[in-house]
Structure 1
Amino acid sequence: MQQRKKIAIIVAGGSGTRMGAAVPKQFLELAGKPVLYHTIAAFINAYADMQVVLVVPETHFAPAQQVLNSFPAPPPVTLVKGGETRFHSVQNGLQQVPDNAVVFVHDGVRPLLTAALVRHCYEQTLLHGNAIPVIDMKDSVRETNAAGNKAVNREQFKIIQTPQTFLSEQLLPAFALPYDPLFTDEATVVEKLGHPIHLVPGEDRNIKITRPLDLVIAEALLRQ
C-alpha cells in the first residue's frame, strides 16, 4: 500500500461560552494538561511522520504556543490563523498541505481519540479516498415539522465525528469552491464535488468537549 504524507489540521477556534469559562475550552485543564495538548498528542503518537497544522484565532496564538512549549520535545506543529467560519479556517490550514497527502481534519476539543482510530482512518482513506468516523444513535429520534412531529428509524442515522480524513486530491479542490452555509463539515464540501463518502466506525470515547459535564466525562475516561 502506497504511503503518503500525513497532515492533521486541528481546528481550535472555540470561545468557551457554553463552558461558562473565561478560558477558551481548548485551553482548559484536563488531567493536568490543556485539552488541546491531548488532541495534538493523539496525532503525533499515531505516526512518527505526522505533521500538524493548528488553526486558531490570532488572539489565541500565545496560549497555543504555551501548549506547544509544554511538550517534552518540540512537536511538528505549524500555527495558522483561523478564518471567519470553520470552512474558512480549514481553507487556511489547507494552504500548508502538499500534494499526495492524506489530510485529517479534527476538532481541537475532541482530545480522547485513539491512535488506532487515526491509523484506521488513514488506511481506509488510502483504499476509498476518504474516511469519516461515525457512531450509532442510541436515543430515540423524532422529526419535527410545521404539522407536528413523528418518530423516525434511528438505524438510518449516524452521529458524525472527526477526524474526517481525505486524500489531498479530493479535499484541496473541494475547498476551492465558494463558501456555502450548507457546508456543515468537510464531508459535505467534498460531497459537493460528487465524491462518495466512506463511513468508518468511530469511538464512543471520542467526545467533543462543549459543556462542563463533557470535561468531567473526559477526565473519567482518561483515568481508566
Structure 2
Amino acid sequence: MPPSTTVSVLVPAAGQGTRLGRGPKAFVRVGGRTLLEWVLEAFAWADEVRVALPPEAEPPAAPANVRFLEGGEERQESVARLLQGARGDVVLVHDAARPFVVPAVVDRLLQAVAAGGAAVPVVPVPDTLIEPEEGRYGPALDRGRYALVQTPQAFFRELLAEAHQLARARGLLATDEAQLVRALGYPVELVPGDRRMFKVTFPEDLALAEALARTWDRRPV
C-alpha cells in the first residue's frame, strides 16, 4: 500500500450482546480490559478510528484519533453512519467483539486491498459440517468448499460507500460489508485469517478470551 494512503477503522459496537447475556458486548471485560479497549489498542496506529456505541452508552476515555457516534438498530446501519465522514482512502470494518487483532493479518489485508479494492480474512472450517433435518443429523456438506469469515474487512472507502448506497436503494440487509460489495458485482479477495481473531459471542467464548489475554503480549506477529 502506498505510504501516503490513509486508513479509517470503523468499529460497529452498538450491539446489545443478547447471546452473551452480559449487556452491551463492547463493554464486557476480558483480561482487565473491555473488548472495545482491546480493539482501540490494536488500531492505535490508524489515521482515525470511528466507533458506533449504543444510544445510552457513555463514551469511554480514548486516544485522540478515536471518535464515538451513536449506532443504529442493525450493524449495517451503524457501519453506514460510521462511513459518513470517514476520511481514509481505505476503511477497515472490525467487530468490537473480536478483541485480538493479529498484525500479520492486517498487513495481508492492506496489501490485498491496495491491489484489488476489497479483501476479507477467512479461516477453514475445522469440523464436520451438516445440514440438520428437524433436529436430527442431516446430510454432511463438503467443508472444503466453505470458509469462516473474520474481520477486519478492508475496502476502498468510495467502493464501500457505493455498496451501502446500493443496499439502501434495494433494501438489502447483510451480516457483513463484503456481501454488500459483492452485490455490486465487485470481487472480494480472500486472505488467510487467524483463529486467534475469534468473535466473542457465547458465554464459553469468554473463558477462551481470558486464557488468550494472559499471553497475548507475548504473541508472535
TM-score band, normalised by shorter chain: 0.7 to 0.9
| Whole-angstrom distance in 2 between the partners of 1:203 and 1:178 | 29
TM-score relative to the length of structure 1: 0.87
Matched, 1:126 2:127: no
| Superposed CA offset, 1:192-215 (max 9, x none) | 111011011111000111122111
Aligned partners of 1:187, 1:20: CA distance in 2, in Å? 28
Distance 2:78 2:21 in 1: 24
Asked if residue 221 in structure 1 is aligned to residue 212 in structure 2, the reply is yes
Q: Which runs of 4+ in 1 moved over 4 A?
A: none
Aligned residues: 210
Amino acid aligned to 2:194: E
Partner of 1:91: 80
Contact 2:24/2:54, CA 8 A, preserved across alignment: no
Q: For structure 2, which runs of at least 5 residues remain unmatched after alignment?
A: 216-221
For residues 59-98 of structure 1, what are the structure 2 equivalents within 5 Å?
59-60=56-57, 62=58, 65-66=59-60, 69=61, 74-98=63-87
Which of 110, 114, 129 is the aligned partner of 2:102? Answer: 114
The one-letter amino acid paired with 1:97 is A
- 2:218 match: none
What's the CA shift for 1:107?
0.5
Residue 116 of structure 1 aligns to which amino acid in structure 2?
A
Corresponding residue number in structure 2 for 1:53: 50
Show structure 1 runs of 5+ residues with no match.
none
Q: The residue matched to 2:100 in structure 1 has which SS?
A: coil
The alpha-carbon deviation at position 182 of structure 1 amounts to 4.6
Alignment of 1:67-216 (within 5 A): 69=61, 74-98=63-87, 101-144=89-132, 149-179=138-168, 180-216=171-207
CA distance in 1, matches of 2:161, 2:104: 25
Distance in structure 2 (CA, Å) of the matches to 1:52 and 1:129: 20
Residue number in structure 2 paired with 1:12: 13
Contact 2:13-2:25 within 8 A present in 1 as well = no
Name the aligned partner's letter for residue 73 of structure 2.
E
Q: Equivalents in 1 of 2:37, 2:64: separation in Å?
A: 10
Q: Percent identity?
A: 36
Q: Classify the secondary structure of the residue corresponding to 1:59.
A: coil
Say if 2:30 is the partner of 1:27: no
The whole-number CA distance in structure 2 between the counterparts of 1:120 and 1:194 is 23
> Normalising to structure 2: TM-score of the pair?
0.88
Contact residue 83 and residue 89 of structure 1 kept, 8 A: yes
Using the TM superposition, give the Cα deviation of residue 57 of structure 1 relative to its aligned residue in structure 2, in angstroms.
2.0
Q: Let me know the Cα RMSD of the aligned residues.
A: 1.9
What secondary structure does 2:139 align onto? strand
Q: Distance in 2 between matches of 1:182 and 1:24?
A: 22
Contact (CA 8 Å) 1:43, 1:115: kept in 2 or not? no
- Match of 2:219? none
What is the CA–CA distance in structure 1 between the aligned matches of 2:119 and 2:18, rounded to whole Å?
31
Paired with 1:52 and 1:176, the residues of 2 have a C-alpha distance of 22
Q: Which of the pair is proportionally richer in strand? A: 1
Cα distance change, pair 109–120 in 1 and its aligned pair in 2 (3 A) = same
